[in-house]
Structure 1
Amino acid sequence: MIIPGGEQCKNDPAYVDQVIDVINEKGIDRHSYVLAIGGGALLDMVGYACGIAHRGIRHIRIPTTVLSQDDSGVGVKNSINAYGKKNFLGTFTPPFAVINDFHFLRTLTHREWRAGIAEAIKVALIKDADFFKFLQENTQKLAERDMAAMQYLIHRCAEMHVQHIASGDPFEKGSSRPLDFGHWSAHKMEQLSNYRIRHGEAVAMGIALDSTYSYLKGMLTEEELKQILEVITGVGFELFAPEMLSHLEDDTHPQSLLRGLQEFREHLGGQLTIMLLAKIGHGVEVHEIDNEIMIAAIEQLRHHAEATV
């Protein structure tokens, strides 16, 4: 069966119903396999359907985008969006296998090619300074679609994700999501933009925002922040979107970007836990965010964007 990709297939539960209908009609059981070929949103949705049918059917992922090959395709999470929230319904159901075929990358638009680089920047910043140095040295090559540079990026990023899943809290029983650096605002920006801003683009802006906040808190040096923003913009990402200014005066407003902090906490429960940067390659978790400093970080990114137009 063919299902539209993109966030559309996660926003409409009818697509989950279609997959489950086929599983039922074809007699697919827990010893059978469902093969999903597509980007991260489609893999999430099909994985969710497989996770709830028969309490779990084996599924195989063949990710076709940079974002799904280096990040979501090798994870254990499956989900769809609901109640105006990103990934509100989901399961933790590891795939039986993941097959990365780099030939699919040649079919991508420039926007799709670039989107997955955000997750590599994220994991490098919080875990591997040497990997971030690679991204610095290969920024132009990645922007110009150099396949060898992208293959290394995908392999290293996916490797670090698997290492984290195998050694940490893969089913998120705690209140920490270390691999979601930059994501509290990214998920909210996607929703506020009605998914005009794609996930990788939102993550890039979220990384820029939390890095700027880290700098304003005295955790990062000005030079480190400069390096981070140069890599983000060097591969073609924007640092700012108008949605970031939404209802900043009221963090309880459903359309406020700052409401994303509470929604991020609600998603896991427990105390708010946000990953920030102590230095490049070393993330640190905090449990409080100063709204005034976060607003100042947003304004700094806005001024940066206006200065470079």
Structure 2
Amino acid sequence: MRKISQTFQVPFSYEVHFTRDLFAENNHLLKDLIGSARDQKTAKILVVVDEGVIAAHTQLITGITNYAHNGNLGIKLVCPPLVVPGGETVKNDNRHVKTILNAVNEFGLDRHAYLIAIGGGSVLDMAGFAATIAHRGIRHIRVPTTVLAQNDAGVGVKNGINQFGKKNFIGCFSPPFAVINDSAFLSTLEDRDWRCGITEAIKVALIKDRDFFKQIQQNTGTLLSRDASSMDLLIYQCAKLHLDHISRGGDPFEKGSSRPLDFGHWAAHKLEQLTDYRLRHGEAVAIGIALDSIYSQLIGLLSQAALHEILTLFKNLKFKLFVPELLADTGHKNPVMDGLNEFREHLGGKLTIMLLKDIGEGVEVNDIDYEQMQHAILELKKFDEETVPKC
């Protein structure tokens, strides 16, 4: 019997930049980023854009084209930007991945070329996956255009698409070359999407940083009134906590059973599926966090006072915390509970769910009491009904 053992490490590094009007003539951030790693005289660029972003920013295609055609930048746009659907639609149909792969092949992009994805988290997930499997990886730059993508989905290392009715069943871990948060894109978001990204900030605050949670509480009014400086601060703080966890948490590619940043997500992912994605991701996460917070209180981990703070913050931010699908019954058991097994299956290993010991202090458990969770659902329904404004 013989064997050869091998151990090696590969360092990963990338930066998250904060700017405004990325494709303005006097904004050289993108040029400088690409120039810092240029291996050839002119860098080939393939751009993928969320169609919803195009609708809201009608001059974007022209701006990208004019920016790339500035001969002093050393950038070659290989074709007009590819426009793809936004939201879960783009992850539910793998033909969009094939469209990108066809372009990579047709225009001769190699590992030193760049795919720039501009859009919400779903578009970034899909395009990042395509970039990672083309030539086993071409450089991809993410330009998130929603609050949720700028503070969470777009700054991490995950890419993927949906399959078999399950979120991110096909995917990979692949750090981007860079992330560029352009605050100008946020100005055209619907109020619904503006608020959705706040849930991921609440999530990371609840498990890691009580002071950040208090900051969100204090800024509730300005966040709802769409004050740009309050949102800029929230996005920066949330992105920093997210990146700190990836770099210092000891498991950036989730090889183990722990997944703290998915607090509230086992139910959220299932609710998205059960509502046929009527619920936006941030809305489903708000419900999932509220549900797991109530459960934490029912099993004696979290105080009633802390629970009240959490639920009140969500209601003050105008989130609806109950949908009928939470109590749907197929005759055997609540299908929402299937989300627990799907969550474990997606991660592998033993079931590990993040709950709360206090605001700013998460705790992991390895089993969920079905009856208590059903009780938590009923308590959430009761709270949501009691806090609906009376006509």
Within a 5 Å distance, the mapping from 1:1-309 to structure 2 comes to 1-168=82-249, 169-247=251-329, 250-251=332-333, 256-309=335-388
2:312 and 2:189 map into 1 onto residues whose CA distance is: 24
Letter in structure 2 aligned against 1:282: E
Q: What amino acid maps onto 2:258 in structure 1?
A: S
**Distance change in 2, residues 1:36/1:285 (3 Å):** same
Query: Is this contact kept in 2: 1:71–1:157, CA < 8 A?
Result: yes
Moved more, 56-65 or 241-250: 241-250
**Secondary structure of the structure 1 residue equivalent to 2:297:** helix
Please say if residues 35 and 59 of structure 1, whose CA atoms lie closer than 8 Å, have aligned partners that are also in contact: yes
Q: Which has the higher helix share?
A: 1
Cα displacement (A) at 1:249: 6.5
- Aligned counterparts of 2:91 and 2:191: Cα–Cα separation in 1: 23
Residue type of the partner of 1:71?
D
TM-score (norm: length of structure 1): 0.97
CA contact (8 A) 1:71 1:161 kept: yes
Question: 1:250 offset after TM fit, Å?
Answer: 3.6
Instruction: Name the % identity.
Output: 61
Quick check: 1:274–1:287 contact (8 Å CA) kept in 2? yes
For residues 36-70 of structure 1, give each alpha carbon's deviation from its aligned partner in whole angstroms, at most 9, with x where no partner exists.
Answer: 10000000000000111111110000000000000
The amino acid that maps onto 1:164 is H
What is the CA RMSD across the aligned residues, in angstroms?
1.0
Greater radius of gyration (CA)? 2
Counterpart of 1:79, as a letter, is: G
CA drift at 1:243: 1.0
1:247–1:257 Cα contact (<8 Å) kept: no
**Partner-residue secondary structure (3-state), 2:102:** helix
Name the residue aligned to 2:64.
none
Cα deviation code 1:218-268 (max 9, x no counterpart): 1111111110011111111111111111238645x7xx0000000000001
Q: How many residues align?
A: 306
- 1:139 Cα deviation from its structure 2 partner: 1.1
Q: Which has the higher contact order (CA 8 A, sep 6+)?
A: 1
Distance in structure 1 (CA, Å) of the matches to 2:371 and 2:216: 32
